[in-house]
Structure 1
Amino acid sequence: MSFQDNKFPIILGTVTAVAAGGLIFWGMKSGGKYATAKEEFDSAQAQIGKMLRANIPPTQDNAREKEKAVTDYEASVADLQKAFDPLRQPKLENIEPSEFQNALLASRKDLIAKFEASGTEMPETFFLGLGKFSDTLPAKKDTGMLNFEMKAFANLLTKLAEAAPDKFKNAYWPGLPNPPQEGDAVVEHPIELTFSGTEASLRKFLSSLDDSKEYFYIVRTMRVKNERASAPNASDARFEKPEEAPKPADPFATGGFVFPDEDPAPAPAEEDGGAEGETPAEEETPAPAPEPEPAGPTDSGEILKQVLGSEKLDVFLRIDVVQFLEPKTP
């Protein structure tokens, strides 16, 4: 049988064989991809199952620890609020503007008397930093906060007067702070003070701020400058002159000194004309005077005390008076 006679069956068989081979190859290749995808799916599913079975946070122990931490924090905040209760001012109530102005003038008069009593030089114009209200009435809505500031500044300046600096130069008030917002716990009222005095007066003033029982003060900025541009030297020391010791008596002045083999010289007659034949009373030989102590300090540290610490200081302070608001109930 020739090819020509069986051309169609041969061609059909060949095509069928090729197609079958292609299908087999494609099936084998697709089966490999399926197996790989199935393996990856099974692995991911196993990981998910493992995570679902694991005891991951938040666990009951974690929840109890978190609850305890929050409770402890709330207790510490409550204790802190209670500690500041003595410094917490009542709710600020607005007053009449004329009443505030009269109180400002009365407080000014009282403070001037205190500074004069301590010997502190005062500026020509002094109104606790609130001088703009000496001849102008404030808005009534601001008088509550202004009244708080006036009392706090008066208390602060009273402590400065008690420290007795040499000169009180200025009190600057930058203005009212912003009204408190929701969630605020405090409002800070700033004031700036400038004065000059000794190191002891500055130390006493700062210590008094820490000991205050009426208001809570925070020193935000402090600048201290020595009035002297050069270092001190020995010529700055001032010592008290020691008292001069009395000179020792001259043993030959009275004629009472004699050598062992000589007779004592007769005592001279008294000038006031004593009775004839009377023997004058024996004069006592004065005791030798003690040797004078060496003048001046013997310890070099004493010299430093005389030289250092006597300079005047120029002081600038920015202080915040803290107003504690009523605590919020959580």
Structure 2
Amino acid sequence: MTWFKENKFLGGLIVITVILAGVIISLGMKLQETLDEKISEVETEESALKDMKGLNPYPTPESAKAKTDSLKELIGDANKMQAKFLTFKPESTAPIPVNEFSALLKDTDARVRELFEGKITLPETFYLGFEDYKSELPRPEATGELAYELKAIEWLMGQLAAANATDVGGIVRHEIPSEKGESWDGAAAPARGRKPSRGRSAGVRRGPSLPKIANRMPLELLFKGPESALRDVLTAMADSDQYFFDLRIARIKNESPIPTRPRGAVAASADAPKSDEGFGNLDGGGAEEEAPVAARTKILDRIAGGDDITAYLRADLLLFTDVQQFPVTK
């Protein structure tokens, strides 16, 4: 204390210096904390920016051009596919006079019966799926679409005749909206016997609605014939360049529980030497091989039978609509 009394000025200077140093150190520490926080924020922003740049596609000029080129290619492919589908679009489905449609239906039925003349006899009630119009007339606005459907059914019956079907059980044609005075855009009625679902419906697409490219005309066909007839009919439906059929259901039944051998097949002689299938007797089993061979023969007989089969086909005849305009990209 004596020194401070004798050196008041110097003592005061020392005290002031210590206080100032403390203040400066305190401010420096606070500034360091603030700087560390800012550095942490910058690093966080840089990390987020790096993550965004890693996303695909990142909107750089290069990626934007690649996306545009990809979209152009997709639209080009869609236009090509649409051009192929539109080859099945009829020139016109405009309504025709009701009496003209009735005459067309009668003439078509006569031509179809001629196709099967000498092969099979079609039932008297058979009328190409238009049995209701034997005694009544269709709505005038439906005649154009019905005429298109009639031509497709005539073509289908021609394929059956060419494939040598041995019997035609019938053809069922589902009513189209214009026959009921409705448009294709009308809401579909729920199927009979189906309970309304609760909550989110299964199979319901969420999001923007897709353009409609075709209307469906359901047909059901029942016929009998050899396996080759079924193959020929299915092949013709798939390869047709006039009508587009979307096969939905195919059920095949063999009338015989154990079919006979295919027509023209030569039955193996009972005393014929057992075949080694070209590989020789590998294990010297001899008689022990008889049971497996016999089992295989029975299985093959069940598969490759020669009896007629009954086939039920459920297919939709597609009536393609107008051209869809896709967006143009520059």
Same fold? TM cut 0.5:
yes
Q: Contact 2:246/2:318 (CA < 8 Å) preserved in 1? A: yes
SS at match of 1:189: strand
Q: Supply the distance in 1 between the matched residues of 2:221 and 2:261 (Cα, whole angstroms).
A: 31
TM (norm. structure 2) is: 0.63
TM-score by length of 1: 0.63
| Contact 1:165/1:197 (<8 A) preserved | yes
- Residues 260 and 306, structure 2, Cα contact 8 Å, conserved in 1: no
Give the distance between the partners of 2:261 and 2:305, measured in 1 at CA.
12
How many angstroms apart in 1 are the aligned matches of 2:173 and 2:88?
22
Shift of 1:196: 1.0
CA drift of 1:230 comes to 3.3
Cα drift, residue 219 of structure 1: 1.8
Q: How has the CA–CA distance of structure 1 residues 87 and 43 changed in structure 2, closer, same or farther, with 3 Å as cutoff? A: same
Q: 1:85 to 1:225 in 2, by over 3 A?
A: same
Alignment RMSD: 4.0
1:324 aligns with 2:320: yes
SS at match of 2:116: helix
Whether contact under 8 Å (2:224, 2:310) holds in the other structure is yes
> Matched residues, percent identical?
25
1:222 aligns with 2:222: no
Q: What's the CA shift for 1:140? A: 1.4
305, 308, 311: which one aligns with 2:307 = 311
Bigger fraction of residues in helix: 2
Is the 1:172–1:192 Cα contact (8 Å) retained in structure 2?
yes
Deviation at 1:227, TM superposition (A): 0.4
Q: CA deviation at 1:82?
A: 2.1
1:183-222 mapped onto 2 (5 Å cutoff): 183-222=211-250
CA 1:297–1:156: 2 relative to 1, 3 Å: farther
SS at match of 1:165: coil
Gaps of 5+ in 2: 1-25, 178-182, 187-209, 278-296
Which consecutive unaligned segments of at least 5 residues does structure 1 have? 1-27, 241-293
Alignment of 1:1-330 (within 5 A): 39-40=36-37, 42-48=39-45, 56=53, 57-117=58-118, 119-176=119-176, 179=184, 183-232=211-260, 308-330=304-326
Aligned partner of 2:198 in structure 1 is none
Per the TM alignment, residue 148 of structure 1 is displaced from its structure 2 partner at its CA by: 1.4
Residues in 2 aligned to 1:85 and 1:34: alpha-carbon distance in whole angstroms: 74
> Alignment partner of 2:314: what SS?
strand
Measure, in 2, the Cα distance between the counterparts of 1:72 and 1:80: 12
Please list the CA deviations of residues 246-293 of structure 1 after superposition, one character each: whole Å capped at 9, or x if unmatched: xxxxxxxxxxxxxxxxxxxxxxxxxxxxxxxxxxxxxxxxxxxxxxxx
Q: Tell me: CA distance 1:203–1:46, structure 2 relative to 1, closer, same or farther (3 Å).
A: closer
Count of aligned positions: 246
Q: How much does 1:211 deviate?
A: 2.9
The aligned counterpart of 1:25 is: none
> Over alpha carbons, which structure has the higher Rg?
1
**Aligned pair in 2 of structure 1 residues 219, 51: CA closer, same or farther (>3 Å)?**
closer
AA in 2 matched with 1:64: K
2:117 aligned counterpart, secondary structure? helix
Secondary structure of the residue aligned to 1:116 is: coil
- Preserved CA contact (<8 Å) 1:104 1:134: no
Secondary structure at the residue paired with 1:61? Answer: helix
1:97–1:38 Cα change, 3 Å? farther
Report if the CA contact (8 A) 1:190-1:321 is conserved.
Answer: yes
